[in-house]
């Protein structure tokens, strides 16, 4: 599946009846270009200098809008803060135990696991989640 572009994301918002404010555009653009799975606070800190009247609540509210129209996924890994991922197609994450860095990877063989689980249990499988934990190259080099 090809990655969605900023223009596609803005079109999706417009089609959903969501008004495109400068703050909303900036938050969405940050998510599209970010490879780091940012928290709302990280997004806020990155954009605050360009939008001095923007609050953390504005960032959270816009993230909820993006979630509701399916543009982003919320990632929760047991810590207090959610991270947000613009890539919404099925993929997996490897997470550094030391610094918390999250990196995407895709492994199509895991789709067979859903089919097998459905066949064995009779469940209708809606989704699955895979997390791999380790130490990233940067932390290993320290």
Q: Is 132 exposed, middle or buried (0-12, 13-18, 19+ CB in 10 A)?
A: exposed
In whole angstroms, give the CA distance from residue 40 to residue 76: 12
In whole angstroms, give the CA distance from residue 107 to residue 110: 6
Q: Tell me whether residue 112 is annotated as binding.
A: no
Q: How many CB atoms lie within 10 A of CB 101?
A: 17
Q: Tell me whether residue 131 is annotated as binding.
A: no
Q: Tell me whether residue 111 is annotated as binding.
A: yes
Q: Tell me whether residue 136 is annotated as binding.
A: yes
Q: Tell me whether residue 96 is annotated as binding.
A: yes
* Binding site feature residues: 96, 99, 111, 128, 136, 139
* Binding site feature residues for Zn(2+): 96, 99, 136, 139
* Binding site feature residues for Fe cation: 111, 128
């Amino acid at each position: 599946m090809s990655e969605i572009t900023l223009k596609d994301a803005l079109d999706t918002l417009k089609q959903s009846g969501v008004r495109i404010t400068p703050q909303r555009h900036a938050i969405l653009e940050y998510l599209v270009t970010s490879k780091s799975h940012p928290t709302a606070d990280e997004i806020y800190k990155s954009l605050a200098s360009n939008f001095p009247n923007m609050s953390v609540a504005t960032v959270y509210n816009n993230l909820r809008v993006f979630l509701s129209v399916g543009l982003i996924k919320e990632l929760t890994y047991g810590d207090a803060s959610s991270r947000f991922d613009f890539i919404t197609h099925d993929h997996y994450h490897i997470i550094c135990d030391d610094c918390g860095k999250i990196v995407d990877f895709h492994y199509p063989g895991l789709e067979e696991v859903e089919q097998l689980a459905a066949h064995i249990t009779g469940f209708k499988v809606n989704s699955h989640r895979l997390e791999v934990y380790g130490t990233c190259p940067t932390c290993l080099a320290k």
